[in-house]
Structure 1
Amino acid sequence: MKWEKCSTELSATLAAATAGSPAQKRMMFGCPAYFINDNMVTGVHQSNIILRLSEADRRSMFKEFDEAAPFEPFSGRSMKEYLALPAVVSDNSTVFQSWLSKAFG
């Protein structure tokens, strides 16, 4: 899988959505990521916004959105608690904010 630079549009979307939250911005994989208590809760990776969700919330996301996928920063190497949001979620601010609040716990 060829590396692609993270989406500036998604980076801006996530920055706006996390403004005023307790999350601290750091760079991971060359892209913005947001941490609470040293745990990454969300970020941008290439052309996806990623979220850390509970097992129940991940199951719900996979059931509700066929396009949801496990987050794999490297092909075949998934990060168990994270998933890549489908565009249908990240493009809808109300739906996105709802899922983001679950990640923030």
Structure 2
Amino acid sequence: MDMPKASDADKEYFRSVLPDHPEVVIRPMFGNLGAFVNGNMFAGLFGPTIGVKLSAADKELLDSTERTVPFGPAERPMGGYTGLPEVWNGEGEGDGDKARARAWVEKAFEHVAGLPPKTPKAPKAPKAKAAKK
């Protein structure tokens, strides 16, 4: 599975389109970045592509009006996430593209912030060793 790494410029652009909310947590993920609220990822970076988790209605609107792309490895894109148009990745029409990317990332934040917080998984209990005869 091909796992592209985001460049420093990609990471900087990703951070620049994230909402300025204290609840936003950015974490590294396999050489890329993920943006989380309440433990749930609302936006991610995969190489130069920004993926967002939107409500069904917003996803349908974005997919029907823009040239979205799959988000994640080509062999196994991440379900529930939509890749923003690649022309918006910082090399497009400047501030207009950045504003559009920022608006969709904000919609993703609002959608995911309304979901139940992710609860940490309980640690697995150690397996009991089989008794020797």
TM-score bracket for this pair, using the shorter chain length: 0.7 to 0.9
Cα contact 1:70–1:80 (8 A) shared by 2? no
1:11-90 alignment runs, 5 A limit:
11-18=11-18, 20-21=20-21, 22-65=23-66, 67-71=67-71, 73-90=72-89
Give the greater-gyration-radius structure (CA). Answer: 2
Match of 2:116 in 1: none
Shift of the 76–36 alpha-carbon distance from structure 1 to 2, 3 Å rule, reads same
- Between 1:38-47 and 1:80-89, the stretch displaced more is 80-89
Cα contact 1:51–1:83 (8 A) shared by 2? yes
Q: Give the TM-score of the pair, scaled to structure 2.
A: 0.67
Say which SS state the counterpart of residue 82 (structure 2) adopts: strand
More strand by share: 1
Matches of 1:81 and 1:49, distance apart in 2? 13
Q: Structure 2: which 5+ runs fail to align? A: 91-96, 111-133
Which residue identity does 1:12 align to in structure 2?
Answer: E
